[in-house]
Amino acid sequence: MNPTNPITEVDLLIKNAQELLTLFPSSEGESGLGMIKNGTVAIKEGKIFWIGKTEECPKEISLGRGGHKIDATGKVVMPGLIDAHTHLIFAGSRENEFEQRIQGLSYLDIAERGGGILSTVEATRKASFDELFSLGKERLDRMLYKGVTTIEAKSGYGLSLNDEIKILKVMRALQEVHAMEIVPTFLGAHTLPKEFRDVRTRYIDLLTKEMIPRVAEERLAEFCDVFCEERAFTLEESKKILETGKDYGLRPKIHADQLSPGGGAELAAEVGAFSADHLEHVSQEGIKKMAEKGVTAVLLPGASFFLAMKKFPPAREMIEQGMSVSLATDLNPGSSMTESLPLMMTMGCIMYKMVPSEVIQGTTIHAARSMGREKEIGSLEVGKQADILLLAIPNYRYLPYHFGVDHVEKVIKKGEVVYTRSVVCGL
């Protein structure tokens, strides 16, 4: 405190949290959560000004005029959740395909009946900017209510220059009106559009010579992603696309080893990807190389669950090898139609054998790292953005344990309360 100006007026004070999870590595912190029992956070101008035990909060910190105080007695306070992998913008839905899969139809059968990813591409191409905007807004609202304050969002249902640009511009317009922070990724290499089926090298040319330069010029994305898979893009094509993206200032990400061990993880390490996502079939060598290069694994239990996959990514092995492991929804109409990151936390525990503290790290600080935002968000530290959740649960293990219901009481984004759970009125 400055002795000549002893009183500091703050905008928001959250006091008496039963468990305040800072996610800051602390000597007394439990399981890497940096837990403070009976904690207080003071927020000024959208950033964390002070954090610590309530009884140690300096008397010089007072609430400014118009400021808010929140009593978090009996509750858990933690950083806003971060969804590190979403396909936010798409039109149409595929519930018919969902039913067909339950009845035993294969991916190929469904594609032959006009379903699959290309049906979403068709619907998205037909949709207007305004339609995509309102669909995107509804999804962002649902995510915010679940406690998510930042998402990564991919294009990839346009697959033509104009349609990919349209999707990325919808994201930009949403960012201007919505509290959710959106980190945009260009995924023109999601799948081969049907008009290029017999001329795939021409699509690679379109991606590398027209789309990537234009996306970069208009500053519409921070990352470039590619679906590296037998059915999508080969290792060689993926490398070319990601390297071109890098030349234009787009940071690499990769959908890797989802359906087969294709060397995607090794490529992620080679090109210096921020994250490799999916990884169900990752090789030992791939894990080792990613650990060495500091690639974050983004695992998508919603897709494992929704596609009833038998093989899960070896999360425990990745953690033991020192990788940062993140969990995300993979929100998309085909393989993971959900906005619920808390549900992914429960799935991460049950299916991937991650413990509750690990799934909390995986949806906060590790997720921030997967998008290069770990200095601004993902943990509660002085000077960092005040993205904070108030949860009506007695301890952090309750969050994945009591699943399928909403525990979020308040969501704070950059110091502003952007969501408060409404109370059901009784008689």
Structure letter (DSSP) for residue 54: G
**Smallest gap from residue 352 Cβ to Zn ion (A):** 17
Residue corresponding to tokens 């090789």: 283
**Smallest gap from residue 45 Cβ to Zn ion (A):** 36
Name residue 176's beta-bridge partners: none
**Smallest gap from residue 85 Cβ to Zn ion (A):** 6
Name residue 325's beta-bridge partners: 297
Nearer to Zn ion by Cβ, of 233 and 419: the residue is 233
Residue corresponding to tokens 């035990």: 53
**Smallest gap from residue 113 Cβ to Zn ion (A):** 23
Q: Which amino acid is at 259?
A: L
* Burial 288-326, CB ≥16 within 10 A → b, else e: ebbbeeebbbbbbbbbbbbbebeebbbbeebbebebbbb
Whole-number Cα distances in Å, 150 to 179, 266, 378:
9, 28, 9
Residue facing Zn ion at closest CB distance: 330
Nearer to Zn ion by Cβ, of 330 and 339: the residue is 330
Q: Which amino acid is at 80?
A: G
**Smallest gap from residue 224 Cβ to Zn ion (A):** 14
Nearer to Zn ion by Cβ, of 18 and 258: the residue is 258
Of residues 296-355, those binding Zn ion (CB under 5 A): 330
Nearer to Zn ion by Cβ, of 280 and 330: the residue is 330
**Smallest gap from residue 84 Cβ to Zn ion (A):** 11
Nearer to Zn ion by Cβ, of 144 and 187: the residue is 187
Nearer to Zn ion by Cβ, of 233 and 396: the residue is 233
**Smallest gap from residue 338 Cβ to Zn ion (A):** 13
**Smallest gap from residue 256 Cβ to Zn ion (A):** 11
Size of the site for Zn ion (CB under 5 A): 1
Token readout for 131 is 């339609």
Instruction: Report the alpha-carbon angle 400-35-44, nearest 5.
Output: 105
Q: Which amino acid is at 63?
A: L
Nearer to Zn ion by Cβ, of 266 and 330: the residue is 330
Token readout for 403 is 């699943």
- Please tell me the distance from the alpha carbon of residue 84 to that of residue 424, in angstroms, as a whole number: 32
How many other CB atoms sit within 10 Å of the CB of residue 119?
20
- DSSP assignment of 101-157: HHTT--HHHHHHTT-SHHHHHHHHHHS-HHHHHHHHHHHHHHHHHTTEEEEEEE--S
Of residues 92-111, those binding Zn ion (CB under 5 A): none
Nearer to Zn ion by Cβ, of 41 and 132: the residue is 132
State the pairing for strand pair 47-53/35-44: antiparallel
Find out whether 378 and 362 touch, Cβ atoms under 8 Å: no
Nearer to Zn ion by Cβ, of 11 and 330: the residue is 330
Of residues 9-38, those binding Zn ion (CB under 5 A): none
User: Do you know the residue count of the chain?
Assistant: 427
**Smallest gap from residue 226 Cβ to Zn ion (A):** 11
Applying CB under 5 A, the residues found at the interface with Zn ion are 330
